[in-house]
Amino acid sequence: MNIVLMGPPGAGKGTQADVMARNLFVPHISTGDIFRANIKAGTELGQLANQYISKGDLVPDEVTLAMIKDRLAEDDCAKGFILDGLPRTIGQADALEAILAEQGKQLDKVVNIDVPEELLIARLCGRRVCRNCSQTYHLENNPPTEPGRCDECGGELYQRADDSEETIKNRLEVYRAQSEPLIAYYEQKGLLLSVNGNQTINNVLVDIGKGLGQSW
């Protein structure tokens, strides 16, 4: 299955994508994770992307689309993928369709995780991520067993630099202006599955499964 996960910053895309990918035996492709890995490694791509990410702005399309085109062409995507973080604009959605068409593929479903805006700031401020394996936690909603340590790998948990209140405000504005129109775009294409993201992590997963005809 070729699936896109959409939703505002903090909706729970990464959290759900991770479990879905493990259950469906397909890769979880997160554009944000790829950028952050490049920033950590100090690559040219990372240095460029960081100028935008640190402000909460979108990384330019020429960089983002070249990166995703290469990633989707890798062998592990042959049986499907869960794409988290792209498209973020109508332009990227059109480009994604063209990239997939070149590879003889198309999207099967676009899952939109719907969460009221007033909940997002608390979700983002409380988010902690493993430095080593990118597993995501929340200080209150989904805490690790041992504070500051990843349950999966024992790695150190950190707070993303762009999860500061000021950057969050800009990311939410960017979402509203540039990404939210994608909901109507995919609805029109008959690909949209919208789920209520304002429930427990497990219940969101169950609802996604119902919509995909999948019991996890």
Which residue of the set 36, 88, 123, 128 is catalytic?
A: 88
β-strands 28-30, 109-114: how paired? unpaired
**How many chain residues bind ligand ADP (CB under 6 A)?**
36
160 is catalytic: yes
Taking CB under 6 A as the binding criterion, the range among 21-29, 85-93, 98-106, 185-193 that sits at the site for ligand ADP is 85-93
**CA nearest 89: which of 120, 52, 49, 57?**
57
Q: Considering beta carbons, is residue 96 or 157 the nearer one to Zn ion? A: 157
**Shortest reach from residue 73's CB to ligand ADP, in Å:** 17
Measured over the CA atoms of residue 62, residue 65, residue 97 and residue 69, the dihedral's sign is positive
Per the CB < 8 A criterion, the answer to whether 216 and 134 are in contact is no
Specify the DSSP element, H or E, that contains 111: strand 109-114
Q: Among Zn ion, ligand ADP, none, what binds residue 31 when CB lies within 5 to 8 Å by partner kind? A: ligand ADP
Instruction: Looking at residues 154 to 183 of the shown chain, list those that interact with ligand ADP (rule: CB under 6 A).
Output: 162, 171
Q: Which residues are catalytic?
A: 13, 88, 127, 160, 171
